[in-house]
Amino acid sequence: MRSDLQVQPDAAPGGQSTRLRWLGHATFLISSPGGVQLLLDPFNADLGYPVPELPSIDLIGVSHEHADHNNVALAPGAPKVVRGISETGWHPGTVSVGDVTLTMIGGAYHDEVQGQQRGRTAFMSIEIGGLRLLHLGDLGHRLDTNLLAQCRGHQVLLIPVGGFFTIDGETAAATMDEIGPALTIPMHYRTARLPGHPTAPLAETGFLVGREVRRVEDTEIALRPDALPARPEVVVPAVPGG
């Protein structure tokens, strides 16, 4: 593991790192330098990943209303919940809590036929600790010009790669190249915790082929804007629960 990508939550001087923890599937816990706890796309308890012990959550982002992405009951505390879609369409907009700003980006679909199979999904853009992070929900198609313009400028990208329900590894790799982040974390693929899941295992998606890949022996990494990799990297956290 190279020194410019820290793995421990206290790695940054003065505690100014943003901590990002993969909980499994498309679910992430992000902790801001100011102590705000943000939960993205919480999975349902019977999916297969261990139910995590979480701190009191301040803010939840839900990209779409499928059970493996919208289990807000997973979060302790009394968080503010921001939903990207409803039955009537997308809910674009911006919400700030402390030093975290979450923007929902509308216009994306869960399939290649404008939502006719699986409906809509939203993207979640997060400004935190001097960084811009982008979570692509259950994206099911290549980006159009409008969406791509809104996705560029993010340093950290969380992207589905497993196919079947979302874009596959090849499409995800092309989408990553179009967006141009410094650091990308793949999500929504089959792991040992999801033996019967129809998505492909990461190694079989083709997403990692020809990429600079860093595997982390932890589910959590710490990020700072002055310590991002000089060349684009794909970072693969440990699978929660082994």
pTM of the model: 0.93
pLDDT digits (tens, 9 = 90+) for 158-212: 999 999 999 999 999 999 999 999 999 999 999 999 999 999 999 999 999 999 9
Which of 143, 172, 234, 160 has the alpha carbon at shortest distance from 197? 160
Asked if residue 4 has pLDDT above 50, the reply is no
Asked if residue 76 has pLDDT above 50, the reply is yes
CB atoms within 10 A of CB 98: 15
> What would the 3-class secondary structure string for 27-77 be?
EEEEECCCCCEEEECCCCCCCCCCCCCCCCCCEEEECCCCCCCCCHHHCCC
State the pLDDT confidence band at 119, using cuts at 50, 70 and 90. Answer: confident
Which of 140, 178, 176 has the alpha carbon at shortest distance from 158? 176
Asked if 137 contacts 64 with a C-beta cutoff of 8 angstroms, the reply is yes
pLDDT digits (tens, 9 = 90+) for 125-155: 999 999 999 999 999 999 999 999 999 999 9
Q: How far apart are CA 126 and CA 89, in angstroms?
A: 21
Residue 6 is predicted with a pLDDT of: 42
Which range, of 28-32, 63-67, 180-184, averages the lowest pLDDT?
63-67
Which range, of 115-119, 120-124, 182-186, 199-203, averages the lowest pLDDT?
115-119
Angle at 70 between CA 183 and CA 203, to 5 degrees: 40
Residue 3 is predicted with a pLDDT of: 30
| Cα 59 to the center of its chain, rounded Å | 15
Q: How far apart are CA 152 and CA 59, in angstroms?
A: 24
Beta strands in the chain (DSSP E): 18-24, 27-31, 37-40, 59-62, 80-83, 85-86, 89-90, 93-97, 100-109, 120-128, 131-135, 156-160, 183-187, 213-215, 220-223, 233-236
Q: How far apart are CA 194 and CA 223, in angstroms?
A: 28
State the pLDDT confidence band at 219, using cuts at 50, 70 and 90. Answer: very high
Asked if residue 68 has pLDDT above 90, the reply is yes
Residue 1 is predicted with a pLDDT of: 30
Which of 23, 71, 21 has the alpha carbon at shortest distance from 43? 71
